[in-house]
Structure 1
Amino acid sequence: MSVFTEYVDWVSSQDAQYRTVLPITDAEADDLAAGRLSPHQAGALGDGRRYLQSDWPSGAEKPSEYWGSGAFGVREGY
Protein backbone atom coordinates (compact mmCIF):
# COMPACT_ATOMS: atom_id res chain seq x y z
CA MET A 1 0.00 0.00 0.00
CA SER A 2 1.29 3.44 -0.88
CA VAL A 3 -0.14 6.68 0.47
CA PHE A 4 0.85 10.09 -0.92
CA THR A 5 -0.10 13.28 0.93
CA GLU A 6 0.51 16.84 -0.24
CA TYR A 7 -0.20 20.03 1.66
CA VAL A 8 -0.64 23.12 -0.50
CA ASP A 9 1.65 26.01 0.42
CA TRP A 10 -0.42 29.00 -0.68
CA VAL A 11 2.31 31.48 0.29
CA SER A 12 5.55 30.25 -1.30
CA SER A 13 4.23 27.45 -3.57
CA GLN A 14 6.53 24.84 -2.01
CA ASP A 15 4.00 22.14 -1.26
CA ALA A 16 4.97 19.69 1.47
CA GLN A 17 4.90 16.10 0.20
CA TYR A 18 4.86 12.86 2.18
CA ARG A 19 4.81 9.25 0.96
CA THR A 20 4.52 6.04 2.96
CA VAL A 21 4.90 2.55 1.52
CA LEU A 22 3.66 -0.33 3.66
CA PRO A 23 3.59 -3.99 2.63
CA ILE A 24 0.19 -5.46 3.47
CA THR A 25 -0.98 -9.05 3.74
CA ASP A 26 -3.41 -10.69 1.32
CA ALA A 27 -6.01 -10.72 4.10
CA GLU A 28 -5.57 -6.97 4.69
CA ALA A 29 -5.89 -6.31 0.96
CA ASP A 30 -9.11 -8.35 0.83
CA ASP A 31 -10.52 -6.57 3.90
CA LEU A 32 -9.63 -3.13 2.49
CA ALA A 33 -11.26 -3.95 -0.86
CA ALA A 34 -14.40 -5.29 0.84
CA GLY A 35 -14.70 -2.27 3.16
CA ARG A 36 -14.20 -4.34 6.33
CA LEU A 37 -10.98 -2.49 7.15
CA SER A 38 -10.25 1.21 6.93
CA PRO A 39 -6.76 2.74 6.84
CA HIS A 40 -8.29 5.69 8.75
CA GLN A 41 -8.90 3.43 11.77
CA ALA A 42 -6.11 3.95 14.31
CA GLY A 43 -3.80 0.94 14.47
CA ALA A 44 -5.61 -0.93 11.69
CA LEU A 45 -2.53 -1.44 9.53
CA GLY A 46 1.16 -1.96 10.03
CA ASP A 47 1.29 -2.65 13.74
CA GLY A 48 4.61 -4.43 14.33
CA ARG A 49 5.85 -3.96 10.74
CA ARG A 50 8.27 -1.54 9.15
CA TYR A 51 7.30 0.90 6.40
CA LEU A 52 9.28 3.18 4.12
CA GLN A 53 8.67 6.89 4.71
CA SER A 54 9.64 9.85 2.53
CA ASP A 55 9.12 13.35 3.98
CA TRP A 56 9.65 16.49 1.92
CA PRO A 57 8.43 19.45 3.97
CA SER A 58 8.03 22.94 2.54
CA GLY A 59 11.37 24.68 2.14
CA ALA A 60 13.50 21.51 2.20
CA GLU A 61 15.91 21.03 -0.71
CA LYS A 62 15.35 17.27 -0.83
CA PRO A 63 13.25 14.65 0.95
CA SER A 64 14.37 12.62 3.93
CA GLU A 65 13.80 8.89 3.57
CA TYR A 66 13.80 6.41 6.41
CA TRP A 67 12.27 3.23 7.77
CA GLY A 68 9.47 3.72 10.27
CA SER A 69 7.61 1.22 12.41
CA GLY A 70 4.47 0.92 14.48
CA ALA A 71 0.88 1.60 13.59
CA PHE A 72 0.35 3.12 10.17
CA GLY A 73 -2.14 5.99 10.24
CA VAL A 74 -3.81 7.63 7.28
CA ARG A 75 -5.43 11.02 7.80
CA GLU A 76 -8.31 12.05 5.58
CA GLY A 77 -7.67 15.03 3.36
CA TYR A 78 -9.71 18.18 3.36
Structure 2
Amino acid sequence: MPEISLFYGIRITMDWNDHNPPHFHAQYGNNKAVVLIEDGVISEGYLPSRQLKFVLAWTEIHKDELMQNWELSKDGKPLNRINPLI
Protein backbone atom coordinates (compact mmCIF):
# COMPACT_ATOMS: atom_id res chain seq x y z
CA MET A 1 0.00 0.00 0.00
CA PRO A 2 1.35 3.42 -0.88
CA GLU A 3 2.35 5.60 2.05
CA ILE A 4 0.65 8.98 1.89
CA SER A 5 1.89 10.45 5.19
CA LEU A 6 4.10 9.71 8.17
CA PHE A 7 4.06 11.57 11.49
CA TYR A 8 4.89 10.78 15.12
CA GLY A 9 5.72 7.22 14.11
CA ILE A 10 2.27 6.75 12.56
CA ARG A 11 2.27 5.48 8.98
CA ILE A 12 -0.75 6.38 6.84
CA THR A 13 -1.45 4.30 3.73
CA MET A 14 -4.21 3.87 1.17
CA ASP A 15 -4.72 0.82 -1.04
CA TRP A 16 -5.65 1.14 -4.72
CA ASN A 17 -7.83 -1.97 -4.59
CA ASP A 18 -9.77 -1.16 -1.43
CA HIS A 19 -13.53 -1.34 -0.92
CA ASN A 20 -16.04 1.32 0.06
CA PRO A 21 -16.64 3.24 2.27
CA PRO A 22 -13.69 5.60 1.70
CA HIS A 23 -10.98 4.91 4.28
CA PHE A 24 -7.26 4.72 4.94
CA HIS A 25 -4.99 2.55 7.04
CA ALA A 26 -3.02 3.82 10.04
CA GLN A 27 -0.20 1.86 11.65
CA TYR A 28 1.72 2.59 14.81
CA GLY A 29 4.17 -0.12 15.80
CA ASN A 30 2.23 -3.39 15.78
CA ASN A 31 -1.13 -1.59 16.05
CA LYS A 32 -3.20 -1.15 12.89
CA ALA A 33 -6.52 0.54 12.26
CA VAL A 34 -8.84 1.34 9.38
CA VAL A 35 -10.15 4.91 9.57
CA LEU A 36 -13.30 6.05 7.76
CA ILE A 37 -12.56 9.37 6.06
CA GLU A 38 -16.02 10.92 6.10
CA ASP A 39 -16.93 9.90 9.65
CA GLY A 40 -13.46 10.25 11.19
CA VAL A 41 -13.80 7.02 13.19
CA ILE A 42 -12.01 3.69 13.36
CA SER A 43 -14.01 0.96 11.65
CA GLU A 44 -11.64 -1.84 12.65
CA GLY A 45 -8.40 -2.35 14.50
CA TYR A 46 -6.83 -0.41 17.34
CA LEU A 47 -4.49 2.52 18.00
CA PRO A 48 -3.29 3.69 21.41
CA SER A 49 -5.26 6.68 22.71
CA ARG A 50 -2.59 9.32 22.04
CA GLN A 51 -1.94 8.14 18.48
CA LEU A 52 -5.67 7.82 17.83
CA LYS A 53 -6.14 11.47 18.78
CA PHE A 54 -3.34 12.48 16.39
CA VAL A 55 -4.82 10.44 13.53
CA LEU A 56 -8.35 11.74 14.03
CA ALA A 57 -7.16 15.37 14.22
CA TRP A 58 -5.08 14.84 11.06
CA THR A 59 -8.09 13.26 9.32
CA GLU A 60 -10.27 16.27 10.07
CA ILE A 61 -7.62 18.70 8.78
CA HIS A 62 -6.98 16.74 5.58
CA LYS A 63 -10.42 15.30 4.82
CA ASP A 64 -10.63 16.90 1.35
CA GLU A 65 -7.14 15.70 0.39
CA LEU A 66 -7.95 12.21 1.64
CA MET A 67 -11.10 12.09 -0.48
CA GLN A 68 -9.12 13.30 -3.50
CA ASN A 69 -6.65 10.47 -2.94
CA TRP A 70 -9.53 8.01 -2.60
CA GLU A 71 -10.84 9.09 -6.02
CA LEU A 72 -7.34 8.86 -7.51
CA SER A 73 -6.99 5.35 -6.11
CA LYS A 74 -10.28 4.27 -7.71
CA ASP A 75 -8.93 5.49 -11.08
CA GLY A 76 -5.63 3.66 -10.51
CA LYS A 77 -3.69 6.94 -10.47
CA PRO A 78 -0.73 7.82 -8.25
CA LEU A 79 -1.68 9.14 -4.82
CA ASN A 80 -0.57 12.49 -3.46
CA ARG A 81 1.48 12.87 -0.31
CA ILE A 82 -0.39 14.66 2.46
CA ASN A 83 1.41 16.89 4.93
CA PRO A 84 2.06 15.32 8.32
CA LEU A 85 0.61 16.56 11.57
CA ILE A 86 3.07 18.98 13.15
Would the TM-score normalized by the shorter structure come out above 0.5? no
Q: What is the TM-score normalised by the length of structure 2?
A: 0.25
Q: What is the TM-score normalised by the length of structure 1?
A: 0.27
More helix, by proportion: 2
Bigger Rg, which one = 1
